[in-house]
Structure 1
């Protein structure tokens, strides 16, 4: 590959085959749209069958329904995706679940559910995809963690922050272990307008004074999902060919200090 030649941004993912979890809505769907616009062939993975079908129709991706708490289902979806796309060049683990409970009310089953989806599933996806990523030019992994992993906001986020903090460390370890063949990076979003945060942002419009939780952000607003997706797409692209092991906070300036 000619590292010095600028790439056509309208075709920057041409020939790329990417496995993307959480693709039915929110940041995952926004990422799928950007990748599809750039010419990527996509394996779209989610538990939301109806949302996944809509995402596939919009982006031309192949839909794969999978429960990310089920390791066998993950292994099967990765193998099926690689077969459908003729291999894999990239993985994006965007799926995640949140939970708010103080330690005294945080049940073990809920702790295990959050870690299963947010940390164990990316491990299982990366492990299953490794045989296809190895030997591919510009192979990449992007895991989506959270600004909560860098700076928890307060009580009630211990399971979520722990799972996303573990994902950061896991990805850094991958970057060292899989180099120079495969790049691995992390994006840490701040609060974004997605179905997961709809209840928190309900009733707030752009002309209103920022609520207290948004006052912590230098930009004083939540992100549009596409703004976070741009960061994920960049780290998945050939434009980031000399970047691995980074933790990119796309969080409106909440954690920069």
Structure 2
């Protein structure tokens, strides 16, 4: 074992003692970031090249600062995104919802599908759709100025700025000019109930922006607002996908009731078999 791998092993123990959920992965990722290599190349870092800044990064992670804030990057589907303070760090569980959205768009008999991403944060969902559905036109909505700046940087870096339009606006009243025109509305809104604040991991509770987390007493405030916006934006037969918490699988479908104009409401599970997102269709007129 070389010196760096020895240090990674020590760092893994330190992170585990600090309560980090994935101590080995994080220790390796920090080592790769500091030394400018991939995780698979750590064994090739010469002892003389060990960078003492590694232990500064480990100390920050042990204090439960998000890994992605330390490295400045987050990975989502086929993207590497810039992230940091002021923007929600995209999570792997959201990738399944985006996969559903992409498959749905590909199956539509629409040449240039129009998509709205409500609460875009880092831009992960909007950019993924633009990248994987090449003829799509995506409108990404974000209300927080700090998150809007991160999204703007990621959209520009992605090479898809010609097809992703970013809006600084509240999801409840945005894009009146697109009423009845969207083929798909997708969102990962704030959905954590206020009462769960103390049970949240410190990485999220203390570092993700509050506006991206808390959804009121039952966690559904933003989803209720989103229902009205999606109903206004979608064309008849247009599709909707909304992420929610793993304990909200029975409640969220009722927000998209038939009497409000929805059909084919269905809950979907993530890779851990927990309820994770709801899909629906706008009723045909």
TM-score by length of 2: 0.42
- By relative contact order (CA 8 Å, sep 6+), the higher-ranking structure is 1
